[in-house]
Structure 1
C-alpha cells in the first residue's frame, strides 16, 4: 500500500528580502500555503552565518503536511479539508483513521477492508502480557504504555526496515490496532483483574470498553450511549497538527527509528500535564474545589496571580476562539449526563461542580475577554469520568486516539522528498572558549603565592 505522497516542490509566490546586521541582504523564497499563513524559507540564512530564534517553535514550520489544518483565530480544525464537527457527527473513528491514513474517506469496500485489517491485528503476544504483569499495580498506565509499545519492536523485527513502504504500512496498522489492547491491559493490571482478549465480533470502540470492563465471570455488552460518547472522544483527539507529541514522533522518525520506538516517544510526550495530561488536571482541579459553594472563592483566587492557581481546561495555546472540538464535546456532555441521572446513575459531585463552573466562566467578562473558553480537556475529562473511566486512564484513552495521527504523520514523513534528520539550532549564551588548567598547575600557583 503506497504512502500518501507530497507533490514535488512548493508553489513560490515571491521573495522576502532580509537585511542582515553586516549590511548584506538575503533573498528568501516565500511559499504558498493552501490555507493559512504563507511561509518564508529561511534555510539560506545559515550560509550567511545566522539562525532564526523561535522558542516553542510558534513561528516555525518544521515540515510540510497535508493531513491537518488549524485556524486558531477562527476556531477551525480540518482533517484533509473536512471540518472536525462534521467528522464527529457523521463518521466513526476508523473512518476518520482511514481519512488521516490514506487521505480520503473510505467507500463501503475500503471501510470493510480497513476495519478487517485493524480487527485482526488487535491481539498481542502472551509474552507482552507477562511483561505487563511485572509492573506494580500502582504503576501509571502511561508508564506501562511507553514500555510495552516500545517492546513491540522486539516482536516485529521488520518494523526496523522503515525503507520498505509495505513494512511501514503494516506496522502502522499494527500500532492502531494494538495500542487499545495494551491500554486496556494496563488498566486491568492496576486493578488486579485478568486481561480480556479482544473480540472480533465487537467494533473497535466496543472492544476498548470490553477489554477494560469485561470479566470472565459474566457476559459484558457495552452500553450504546457510552460507545457513542467514547467514539466521539476518539474522533476529536485523532490528530491536531504539529503538536508536541506529534512533533516528537516526527523528530524520532527522522532518525529512521522503528515506528514502535517513535510512538513510544510520542506517548512519553503526551503524558505531560500541559499536553495529554490536561484532562486529568481538570478533574484534580474539580476535586480541589470540592463543592459548588467553593467555586466563586476559587475563581477569585484565579484572578490573583500571586496565588499560583490556574483554571485548568480553559483556554488553548492555538485557539484564540472557542475550541471547535469543545463545542462537540460540550453537546455530548450535556446530552449524556442528564440521561445517566434519569436512569438512577449517581452523578459525582465533581461533575456538578464542572457544570456550574462552565456556566459562571462563560458569562463572566473576565474570562470571555481573555478567550478563556472551556477547551476539549475540560469536557472530555467530565465525560470519561461519567462513563466510569478512572482518571489515570484518561491520557491512555487520548493515546489510543492520537496513535492514528502519529502513524499518519510518521508515514508522511518518510514519503517527504525533503526528509532529513531533525536538528534544531540554539542561541548559545555560555562561556567562550577557555583552557583547562594543566595538572598540578593550581597547586604550583598556590605554593608560589605562599
Structure 2
C-alpha cells in the first residue's frame, strides 16, 4: 500500500510512504505536476507468489489508460479549461480570434507565438500561398486512386508522398539533427517545410475532391485568401474572373480557425509520437492525418449528419433520445473528452451557421437538429451528464449546407489542423534538452515464461473466438481457383 500526502513547504513536494517497505519518498511538485520517473525509485522486494513480470524490484509504474491525466510535454501553444469551457491560442481567447482574426493569421500565432505585424503577415502569407502549387507528377498519384476512394485515404497518402519530393527535408538523409539544432540555417529549413505543408494542404485536399468528380485539377489562383483559394480549386470550371461567395469563404475561414488546434488531441499526439523519432515532417503530418481519419476524432461531424438523417424528422426526436438513454442509439455531437460544460467553439460555429443558412437556405435537417438540441438541453439525463453540444454538432450542418459530401467532412477538419500539428511539432523539435523518442511503458499481464512445444505435440489452447483467427468464407473467383488443377498443387479440399 502506498500512501501519499501533499506537504506545502517553501518548495512544494509530495510525500509518499510505501507501506510495503515503510520507506518515505519526497517527490517535487513543479507547475502542479510530478515527474512520473520519480516513482521508479519506489522499489520493493518481490514476495513469494508475485509475478516476475510485475517488476516490483524495478520501481512503480504509472498506469493511465488513454492518457487521462498524463502530461507528456511542456507547451506554450494552446490552453483548455474543460470545466470552464475555455479555449485560448497562445493566451488569446478563441472568441476574440474568431471575430477579429483569420485562419492564416492564427496559424502564424500558433506556430511562432505571437500575432504578426502587417509586414510579418504579408511575408508569411506570400510564402504559404507561393508554396501551394503541386508538382505535376502528383497528378499521377491522384489518378491512381479509384474514383470512389475515401478522400481522407487520398489526403493521407498525398502527405506521405509529398516528403519524397524533398530529400533536403528528411533527417534520415540530411542528418538527424536537421530540425533540432536551432541555428538560423536549421530554422530556415524548418520554416520552408512549414510553408510547403500549409500551402499544399488545401491544394491536395481540393485535388482529392476533384478526383471524386472526375474533374481536371486546378492550379491555385493568385490574389485570393487561403480559404478563397481552396474553394476556387474545388469549384472552378474555367469561368473568367471566378470568385467564391464571400460569406461562404469567411464561414470556412472561421471553421478553419476554430479547428486549427486543440492541444494534445489524438491526431496531434500521433504527430508528436511519430515526430519524436526525428522523421521528416511530411511523414509525421501523414500519421496525424491517419489518426484524425477515425470516427471518434475527425469523423465526428459526419456522424452527426448521419444521426440526424437516421432520426428522420423533428417528431422522432423524443423517441430517439429515449433510445439513447437505453443505450440503443448513440448521441453524436454532444459532450467532449475535455469540456465538462459547453464547448466554446460551438457558440462561434452556431453563429456562423446562421450566416451560412441565410444565403444557402435552411437545411431540412436543421429543424431536427434544433429539436434535438432543445430536448436534450432540458432533459436531466443529458444535463446531469454535462452533454452539451460540441463543435461537431453545428459544423456538420454548415458543411452540408455548403454542398460538401459527407465523407469530405474529415478533410475539412484535417486541412486546418495542419497548423496546430506543425506548431506542436516545431515546439518539440526546439524544446530545451532536445528530443527524446516517445516510449510509453505497459503493464504486462500475459503468460509467464513457458517452454516451446513442437507443432506435433500442441493442443488448441484458445478459450474464446478472440484467441484464434476468424474463419473466412470464400466464394466466387476463389472457389473457382481452388477447383482448378496445376502442377504441384493438391486438389483443393472444400
Same fold (TM over 0.5): yes
Q: Give the 5 Å matches for 1:47-446.
A: 47-48=41-42, 49-161=59-171, 162-163=178-179, 164-217=186-239, 219-305=241-327, 307=328, 309-337=329-357, 339-340=358-359, 345-418=360-433, 419-437=435-453
Aligned to 1:448: none
Q: SS of 1:31's equivalent?
A: coil
TM-superposed deviation, 1:25: 2.9
Asked if structure 2 preserves the Cα contact closer than 8 Å seen for 1:26 and 1:45, the reply is no
TM-superposed deviation, 1:152: 0.6
**Alpha carbon RMSD of aligned pairs, Å?**
1.7
Q: How many pairs does the alignment contain?
A: 420
For residues 126 and 72 of structure 1, the distance between their equivalents in structure 2, rounded to whole angstroms, comes to 45
For residues 225 and 25 of structure 2, the distance between their equivalents in structure 1, rounded to whole angstroms, comes to 56
Aligned to 1:30: 29
Higher mean displacement: 232-241 or 292-301: 292-301
Aligned to 1:8: none
Asked if structure 2 preserves the Cα contact closer than 8 Å seen for 1:153 and 1:258, the reply is yes
TM-superposed deviation, 1:368: 1.9
Q: SS of 1:55's equivalent?
A: coil
For residues 384 and 368 of structure 1, the distance between their equivalents in structure 2, rounded to whole angstroms, comes to 27
Asked if structure 2 preserves the Cα contact closer than 8 Å seen for 1:28 and 1:42, the reply is no
Q: Deviations over 1:132-166 (max 9, x none)?
A: 11100110110001101000111011111343332
TM-superposed deviation, 1:201: 1.3
For residues 242 and 376 of structure 1, the distance between their equivalents in structure 2, rounded to whole angstroms, comes to 17
For residues 53 and 439 of structure 1, the distance between their equivalents in structure 2, rounded to whole angstroms, comes to 37
Q: Compared with structure 1, are the counterparts of its residues 442 and 56 closer, same or farther at alpha carbon in structure 2 (3 Å cutoff)?
A: closer
For residues 156 and 458 of structure 2, the distance between their equivalents in structure 1, rounded to whole angstroms, comes to 48
TM-superposed deviation, 1:13: 4.8
Structure 2 gaps of 5+ residues are 1-9, 43-58, 172-177, 180-185, 460-494
TM-score, normalised to structure 1's length? 0.90
For residues 232 and 393 of structure 1, the distance between their equivalents in structure 2, rounded to whole angstroms, comes to 18
Aligned to 1:5: none
Q: Return the index of the structure with the highest Cα Rg.
A: 2
Asked if structure 1 preserves the Cα contact closer than 8 Å seen for 2:154 and 2:208, the reply is yes
TM-superposed deviation, 1:195: 1.0
Query: Per chain length, whose mean CA-contact separation is higher, i.e. which structure has more relative contact order (CA < 8 Å, sep 6+)?
Result: 1
1:43 paired residue among 21, 37, 47 = 37
For residues 370 and 254 of structure 2, the distance between their equivalents in structure 1, rounded to whole angstroms, comes to 20
Q: SS of 1:221's equivalent?
A: coil
Q: Deviations over 1:388-412 (max 9, x none)?
A: 1221111101111100000110010
TM-superposed deviation, 1:334: 2.6
Q: SS of 1:361's equivalent?
A: helix
